[in-house]
Structure 1
């Protein structure tokens, strides 16, 4: 299949997964959370399968043009990207707080931690399923579809804007700059695995930190 077809299928699959909680809404909360988690993992697995099955024929411009394709470089950049992404998040939160006076916290993260505390299984959706799907959709598919018409930088801005809006968090620029950074990681190596490593790793560290704060009854300084 072509990259256009794969990208459209990937986006459609993401929309179906995103709406999947509606299917489980009539059931008790534990079933809702467990069902949603399974759907997230299945969605991520299907996207990986589609990518691997068609990676020789469905190639984006980013993947064609890159020169730094070494697996070692990809791994090192992905791991270092975890910490760079967290620094970017902290800096943008700080700037946003200084300008608007808004609370430097994420309601989206708070909601996720609440769900994890109710059902720890959901941590798999947050740290593995969700970020993998978001990288295939917002980095590979959206950039793959738009880059031939707009160039990389405009397509990265479009995908990062949509990435931020989908989180519905009220911190547009925080998610925008993180999305843009993940797009840069993808461009530098031409491997979607680079941004996946950084995104999954960052989500994992954020969840661990929030759980430690919760169970340690620690409050962040205001």
Structure 2
């Protein structure tokens, strides 16, 4: 893939969530157009990288005039940041259910399943995110070192509390989240390898259901937890 965006200004160092707010949808037509544009953009960025992608190609993929894309996003850079913001929101919002009062197995299984659904339904977004990280994370460095670190610190504290109470086995809780991300995103980033080894031309919903059960069981077992029955 092409190199990520470089030379981030002070404005670019603000969290990606600010860009998501700026592009917040209002009304049904706006909401539909934004979803079409973001979906098309994540596909084009995944296939061609940031450098190779063009707003014309994104507009064509979205089935909209190029002018419509520029109505919502004045530059390719702005659109790229909105795609990253959308990815992070989808991946991190399910962590809201990891709270001190939650059942550890249920809460962690729910989060892992949500990540696997994201991998199944929108695999290209993981490739876009991986490319951004590989090329230095210029567009999301501020988010990674502030918002993401704060969120992981907060959720790690929840897991540390469960460990102190004997509700799960001792683990390094920050690395535990790394393991979850690595395993769940593997099935998107390395899908060609997975399909080759499994002898599949395409992973079906049934395949993903079976994989998800195994992933949940494997990760929970490392924390001394059993697979929830529901």
Query: TM-score scaled to structure 2, two decimals?
Result: 0.33
Query: TM-score scaled to structure 1, two decimals?
Result: 0.33
Higher RCO, Cα 8 Å, sep 6+: 1
